[in-house]
Each structure stands twice: as C-alpha cells, then as structure tokens.
Structure 1
C-alpha cells in the first residue's frame, strides 16, 4: 500500500471494518504460562507481570478519524517524555481492561466515558519491563477538547488514521540495552517520534485493522 491508496481505505465504514477484525472479548490474562517479552531482560523476573491497559482511541474529526497519543510528563520517573497511549495499571477496582483504559484516559486527558465506544481488543503485549498490556480500541466522538493532566501528560497530539494505516509511515528505531541492539517500529509525525511499545502496538493495530496480521 502507498500513500495514494490510503484515502480509499479511510471512509465512513472503516471503523466498522476495523471492529470486525478485533478481538471482541478481552484476551485472557493467564500469567502462569510462558510469556515472551518484547526484549529479554538480563535477569528473569521474580514477580508476576503487572497488568495494564492502554486506549487506542479513534477520534472522529470533521476531516476524518485520528488516533490519540500523549507525551508523558517529563517529571515522571518512568518513561518520562516518551510518546504513549493513554493508559496504566489495571486497579483492583476496575471492572476489566476496558474500564481501566477509559479511567486512565479520563485522568490523563479528560476523556468522558460517554464519548467512547469500545470496538474490541488487540492481543496482549508483554514488555521487557514485566508489564502485560491489554490494548483497548475505541471510537471517540469528543464533546469537548482533550486537556492534558500536567502531573502525567506534558502534551497530546493526534495522528490521522490514514497515516497510521499507510505502510510507508513506518521506519525502524534502534536502541542498545546491555550492549545489545534492539529494534522497534518508529513513526515520525509533526515533530513527535513514536517508538518502542507504542509504535509496536500501533503497527500491530495497523496490521490487524487491514487484515494483514493474525490475532
């Protein structure tokens, strides 16, 4: 697919087609089986994975759907300044992963629950930092501007869905950990560099949305 083909994919029915390719129930969170992280830490983990959820929000705009991203506060201890989807740990009080993702989005960018319609889920993603993430995909029809919570979010931005679906948008990001080179997907958009877990989840979403990836 090239950029000239992309607008043909992004029409009024694209969200319904994406929803049909998603998992309609949240994937199981069995942490007793073998989990393979996106990169292998030097020492094995001594505790169960931390359960987390992120929201891949398809925002309805007059010019077409976009995907919402945040830039994490530079004051945070972990992953400060990095681009991320709204999300975080699943709390015991959360009903499920979708409940957690929507709660976190409310806390981080002021999303109101009635603005979001959950479409489905991606397979879980296990990180080299011992987080087991459930990606929740939802269509968002905003009734007011998103407002970043300064204690968690430095800024927020949206990437056109057409750009996310375009194979040509993806490059490779290289990083060294413990002397070994690791690669992730990378998307450059309007001065923002999306890489690591967020870029990998974006690419997985893209592949499943277009029927090019398995579940």
Structure 2
C-alpha cells in the first residue's frame, strides 16, 4: 500500500459518513461579512474534492472557470455548484456537476465521505464531498463552464509549505484567504480555504 493510500484510508475515518444536516441559520458565520444582511435562506451547494489515482501518486482535481461566466470568471474551483431539486443529496449534486464540467464518469468515482459545511459571504452553504477516482478516460472541460482542468499532487496539497496568504479588499475592508500557487495557477478564496481544511483533516490537525 502506498503512502497516499495510507493517508486516504486514514482520512476516510475522519470524514463524515453522511452529508451534514443544515445548520440553524442563526448559527451560520460567513467567511466574510457582507455589508447588507442576507434577505433569503442560504443556497445549498456541493463541491467534489476528487482524489485522482495516477501511476505516480494521487492528485487533486481543480478547474479554471470560463472567463465568460458572470460569477467568479477565470477563478480556480473544485467541480461543483448549486444542489438541484432533482439531486438526491449533495453527493449526487457534486457528481452531476463533475460530469457536466469535465466529463467525470460516475462509475469511476467512490465517495469516501463528507466535510463540514462552509458558509460563504455570498450566501452559499457548501458541502465538500470527498471521493477517490480511477479515471477511465481523460477529463474534458465543458467550454461553456470550464476553461481548463489541472491536477495538483496530493503530497503538495498536504505540505504546509504550499500555503501562502492572499489578500483582497471588499467595500474598503481587507479580507485574507489561503493561497496555493501551482504550475501557473493561483488557487485562492473559497477553494484554497476548503483545500486547507481538507489538508488539516487529512493530517489530523486543527482546522486553520
């Protein structure tokens, strides 16, 4: 068994075995505070943290969003999106989005668990779905949603030296997120924060 397999097996024991329940709205604290309070309930969403088995070791899959999208254009993200009424749960939503965005086949995926929800300053309540993937073919970006697909070695994700700090100003206030630079791609914001939470969980460390 490889070192990656050992880490993933250990991670599976630390993940939630079922999607977490919707927290009470008054208990939710967004990753950054908007200037106006939310006028509607949080929007349920899901992302797929896909651990891809490669001959040289596992990788984590990311997408670069299309520059033509209205929201978060050009940013790096995990496959994912809003939970639709037809989705049976957040795992179904994440896998549907992964197929729509990069052609990931459901039969290639084994969901190993769920991470706690993440509440965003844009009023999305995201559930990260963690899965191992043995791809039967290449990932092909859907040009309407995804500009490119890339993978980061799992060992790089697990190294604390891979993480820096990203700063951005919103409404005159400075906000900070984690940042990971890899092969010309800059991962920051929600995606970097979720990556760091995944890393801390995998390594058995307090979420930072």
Aligned-partner Cα distance in 2 for 1:71–1:141 = 21
Matched, 1:73 2:36: no
Corresponding residue of 1:36:
29
Residues 52-100 of structure 1 show CA distances to partners (whole Å, capped at 9, x for unaligned) of 0000000000000000000000000000000000000000100000000
Aligned-partner Cα distance in 2 for 1:93–1:31 = 23
CA contact (8 A) 2:4 2:58 kept: no
Map residues 32-181 of structure 1 onto 2, 5 A cutoff.
32-181=25-174
1:11 is displaced (CA, Å) by 3.5
* Gap runs ≥5 in structure 1: 1-8
CA contact (8 A) 1:10 1:161 kept: no
CA contact (8 A) 1:91 1:100 kept: yes
Aligned-partner Cα distance in 1 for 2:160–2:150 = 20
Alignment partner of 2:192 out of 178, 185, 199? 199
Question: What TM-score, normalized by structure 1, do the two folds share?
Answer: 0.94
Closer, same or farther: CA 11–88 of 1 in aligned 2, 3 Å: closer
Partner-residue secondary structure (3-state), 1:212 = coil
Partner-residue secondary structure (3-state), 1:13 = helix
Closer, same or farther: CA 48–31 of 1 in aligned 2, 3 Å: farther
Partner-residue secondary structure (3-state), 1:93 = coil
Partner-residue secondary structure (3-state), 2:147 = strand
1:10 is displaced (CA, Å) by 3.4
Aligned-partner Cα distance in 2 for 1:197–1:57 = 16
1:31 is displaced (CA, Å) by 4.6
Aligned length: 206
1:123 is displaced (CA, Å) by 0.5
Q: CA RMSD in A?
A: 1.1
Runs of 4+ in 1 over 6 A off after TM superposition: none
Aligned-partner Cα distance in 1 for 2:5–2:28 = 38
